[in-house]
Structure 1
Amino acid sequence: MAYARTTVAMVAVLVATVTGCSAGGASDPGPVGPTPPSPSPSATAALTSAERSLLYDAEQTLVQQCMRRHGFSLAKVPERPVPEHRDFPYGLDDAGWAGRHGYGSDLQRRAVKLRASDPNRRYARSLDAGRRAEAMDALHGRTPNALSVKLPTGRQVSRSDEGCTARAEDELYGDLAAWFRAEAITQALSITRQTKVVADPAYARAVDRWSACMRGRGLAYPDPAAARARFLDGSSGTSWAEERRTALAETKCAASSGLTGTAARLSRRYGDALRAEHAEVFRERDRLARGALPRARVITD
């Protein structure tokens, strides 16, 4: 999990309205399916959740102040607008959560409502085309490829070194280029870890056992992703009772099939290996984040 989102939630909402695209960000429900007990390659024990939230708040504050200087108004939004949302990348394994939320369709609907009523979205819609373009330039600058990083996967990612988002990160972390490189690579390695887990033969065997367990309960799904998709894609016409029953069955099968334990073991193995292989970039990210904490306290005071 990143210490502070590269694009904070209130900014993502504005950009989504300006571009007409769906933005990610904190209000998106995302895929539901178990958070591995072990840390991801991009996580760190060095910072507490409170410290990570402090960095998030500081970055929001800096972006908001910068945009105000450019003549634009942005409201702050919570770091987690839907606090109950959780990611379960390897299958749902929390019976308490499943009993309350099923696969999370209720949280998905809540996120949609929050986006629809968001004051930043309304504000962006109130701007004419010219002002919206100015807002985009103020936010992201006019040089989208000024900084570029090659990820371990070989993919090249770029960003601007201008605009309020870049200015906020530079002020907070002290070195925009270094922070962008460290965040981009460690976030990509978190995805790489998950990809390696689900591609491992041991995980595939555990999924087969999970699927057999589900069939024994009258639920025919080849894997947890298929079960999750049926209730979250919005087109199946399923009921809440069926969603909850299936989600609870999944948690039982995740335990009895060994899927939860297998995923946790593989996640630790691949996470440790990736962290060791890319130790320098993890140290750099941790150093920059920890160095930003005193500045963040001043900014949010």
Structure 2
Amino acid sequence: MRRRGVVCVVAGAVAIGLIGGDGGVVGHAKAWADGTPVVWSDAEMPELPLDGYEFDGADAKARDRMESATQLLTQRCMIRHGFADFPRDPKFPGMAITYTAAMVAVSTGPVGPYDPGKARRWGYGWDPEKKLRLPEPAGRRMTTEESAVYYGDRGSERSGCSGEVYGRIERGVRDTERMWTYVSRRDDAVRKQTDRDPRMRRAYKAWADCVVDKGFKRYADPVQAFGDEAWGRGQDGNTTRKERELGTAVADIACKRAHNTAGVWWSVARRLQRRELALHRQEFTAVRADRDRLLANVRAVLETA
């Protein structure tokens, strides 16, 4: 990774970068002396303790397999009700004809974007010509008659073939709402604690001072810089990408790298998540047990495919 005009100096830490012939920083060490990882990209962000309790935290394909199992069971249910040619992956009534959208989702991560190349060109936005191809169901559109059987009683969430299928997939799960929401709610709470932590506040201040030193506005943290209304986001969420925005975005990332803002965020978040797990060990264990029951049900269904 080549950087221009970025000097990384961290007292008491492993050196972050080597200075190239043009004055740019090339490469960086993996961790500070105290174990804080050096994070310059999303890919370098290590896992956190709560990740292992998320539904797909330890298995990136878990949701895909669950979707495959529910489609398989739903098709079988609809066939039993006389719809012999019901597709595995139907389009639903009322779905849009086009599946192309102009808006591109931008993930800011815990401390905003990291890519300096994109920042120089697109600031806090993206290429306006880039289109997002939304996933399109492979099967034909569901008929009105099929929809009535699929959903059953519209006044109940768990009726029709859809309700039958979820009853099968969630068999043995003790608390479905807790399984789907508990970890994310606790993670949100810990993230708020992370931002208030004294070490994190010092890290944000060092980052903010750095951005100001480069001639740009002071922000409380990188996420505030990302969301500045001055960038003039339109209805699609994209920015105007004017000179001030581009310069701020580049300075933002350079300062995050110089002060390892993302690495400090991870270190603080890990400490607070470990405390969260210790305080609520029974609840987290129950959530993971329910998740494992559901995934076992999914595996059993797919084995019959």
Question: Please, what TM-score do these two structures have when normalized by structure 2?
Answer: 0.58
Aligned residues of 1:34 and 1:87 also touching (Cα < 8 A): no
Counterpart check, 1:254 vs 2:256: yes
Task: Give 1:40 shift.
Answer: 5.9
The change in CA–CA distance for 1:252 and 1:178 in structure 2 (over 3 A counts) is same
Aligned residues of 1:40 and 1:190 also touching (Cα < 8 A): no
What is the aligned-residue RMSD (CA, Å)? Answer: 4.6
Aligned residues of 1:255 and 1:261 also touching (Cα < 8 A): no
Query: For 2:162 and 2:245, how far apart are their aligned partners in 1?
Result: 40
Match of 1:194 among 188, 191, 195: 191
Where does 1:237-248 land on structure 2 (aligned, <5 Å)? Answer: 238-239=240-241, 243-248=245-250
Task: Give 1:297 shift.
Answer: 2.6
Q: 1:219 matched to which residue of 2?
A: 216
Q: 1:138 matched to which residue of 2?
A: 151
Aligned residues of 1:102 and 1:247 also touching (Cα < 8 A): yes
Q: 2:91 matched to which residue of 1?
A: 75
The change in CA–CA distance for 1:283 and 1:67 in structure 2 (over 3 A counts) is same
Greater helix proportion: 1
Match of 2:270 among 246, 252, 268: 268
Pairs aligned (count) = 238
The change in CA–CA distance for 1:263 and 1:185 in structure 2 (over 3 A counts) is same
Q: 2:179 matched to which residue of 1?
A: 182
The change in CA–CA distance for 1:60 and 1:203 in structure 2 (over 3 A counts) is farther
The change in CA–CA distance for 1:287 and 1:251 in structure 2 (over 3 A counts) is same
The change in CA–CA distance for 1:252 and 1:265 in structure 2 (over 3 A counts) is same
Aligned residues of 1:206 and 1:259 also touching (Cα < 8 A): yes
Match of 1:38 among 44, 47, 52: 47
Aligned residues of 1:93 and 1:260 also touching (Cα < 8 A): no
Q: Deviations over 1:212-263 (max 9, x none)?
A: 1111222214121222113483289622766554333222211223421221
Aligned residues of 2:194 and 2:268 also touching (Cα < 8 A): yes
User: How many percent identity over aligned positions?
Assistant: 20
Where does 1:38-77 land on structure 2 (aligned, <5 Å)? Answer: 38-39=47-48, 41-44=50-53, 47-59=58-70, 62=73, 74-75=90-91
Larger of the two Rg values belongs to structure: 2
Runs of 5+ unmatched residues, structure 2: 1-40, 96-100
Query: For 2:193 and 2:76, how far apart are their aligned partners in 1?
Result: 41
Counterpart check, 1:234 vs 2:228: no
The change in CA–CA distance for 1:252 and 1:46 in structure 2 (over 3 A counts) is closer
Query: For 1:246 and 1:271, how far apart are their aligned partners in 2?
Result: 32
Query: For 2:154 and 2:129, how far apart are their aligned partners in 1?
Result: 32
